[in-house]
Structure 1
Amino acid sequence: MPNTQYTRLAEPQWPLLNKFYRAHQSPMKAVREAQLWVGKRDEIIAGLCLRPMEGGFWLTGLFVDPACRAQGVAANLMAHALQQVEGPVWLFCHPDLRGFYERNGFSTGPLLPYALAERLARYARSKPMIAMAMERRAPALDAI
């Protein structure tokens, strides 16, 4: 399996993530106020956005090149990105993806910030959508 590097994009590289999404006809969009993370081999093969929200982060835009799926890329990309944050991380997904996110530490039925609860209600009017969350805590320091 090819070596994959997982990195946070520097601001001048942000357009590369939208170019990746467009190349795969994905409706995902990178947002400026988010942390943008990618998986790269020779080129970007996966991306996600971690958008700061009141009290935590909203994970959006997780997309893996179809040719690179079922290789652990999405799980590894999330693990690298989430290592850097503390507090709850929320996401919305199709119910069919529930098992994938549960295997990666998320659970259903979270308490959502008002802005996300409103957004979920709007999204759910036109497509099946569930909310999930994971609590991220800072690593404990060993006593000296």
Structure 2
Amino acid sequence: MPDILYSQLDESLWPLMNKFYRSHQSSMKTVREAQLWVARRGEIVAALCLRPVSGGHWLTGLLVDPGLREQGIAGQLMAAALKDVDEPVWLFCHPELRGFYERRGFSFDPALPQAMAERLSRYARSKPMIAMGLV
């Protein structure tokens, strides 16, 4: 099997990321103002968005092809995307993913910018959701 390449996705290829999300029945979508990162083994096998927010970045849309999970792809993709980021990074996730993110340096229940705290509150009304932060 060919090696997996981790890189920021060129804007002209953004539709491929949406196609990847749809092919896995995900409601996630690319966001225009975000940096879009992918892992590729020929085709996209994992993706994430890194959106600028007040004073930092919001990591969203992390998805790995289900057939390739538990191989370190998500961690390596996050490492590539965050390598040159020197501002805080926040994310929202299901509580059962807390350990996954803690092993990658994120902490539970960080101080959030007001807009992010409000968004978390809205999301948490319909599904269990926690905040994690990398400062």
Name the counterpart of 1:123: 123
d(CA) in 1 for partners of 2:101, 2:70? 14
Percent identity over the alignment is 68
Equivalent pairs counted in the alignment come to 135
d(CA) in 2 for partners of 1:2, 1:104? 25
Name the counterpart of 1:18: 18
Name the counterpart of 1:106: 106
- Matching of residues 1-144 of structure 1 within 5 Å: 2-135=2-135
Please state how far the C-alpha of 1:9 moved relative to its aligned partner: 0.7
Please state how far the C-alpha of 1:40 moved relative to its aligned partner: 0.1
d(CA) in 1 for partners of 2:25, 2:84? 29
Please state how far the C-alpha of 1:11 moved relative to its aligned partner: 1.0
Please state how far the C-alpha of 1:22 moved relative to its aligned partner: 0.3
Please give the per-residue CA displacement for 1:27-82, whole angstroms capped at 9, x wherever unaligned.
11110100000000010000000000110000000000001101100000000000
SS of match in other structure, 2:59: strand
d(CA) in 2 for partners of 1:111, 1:2? 41
Q: Which runs of 5+ in 2 are unaligned?
A: none
Please state how far the C-alpha of 1:86 moved relative to its aligned partner: 1.3
Name the counterpart of 1:138: none
d(CA) in 2 for partners of 1:2, 1:89? 31
Q: Which runs of 5+ in 1 are unaligned?
A: 136-144
Runs of 4+, deviation exceeding 4 Å: none
d(CA) in 2 for partners of 1:83, 1:74? 14
SS of match in other structure, 1:17: helix
Q: Which has more radius of gyration?
A: 1
Please state how far the C-alpha of 1:2 moved relative to its aligned partner: 4.0
User: What one-letter code is carried by the residue in structure 2 that aligns with 1:13?
Assistant: L
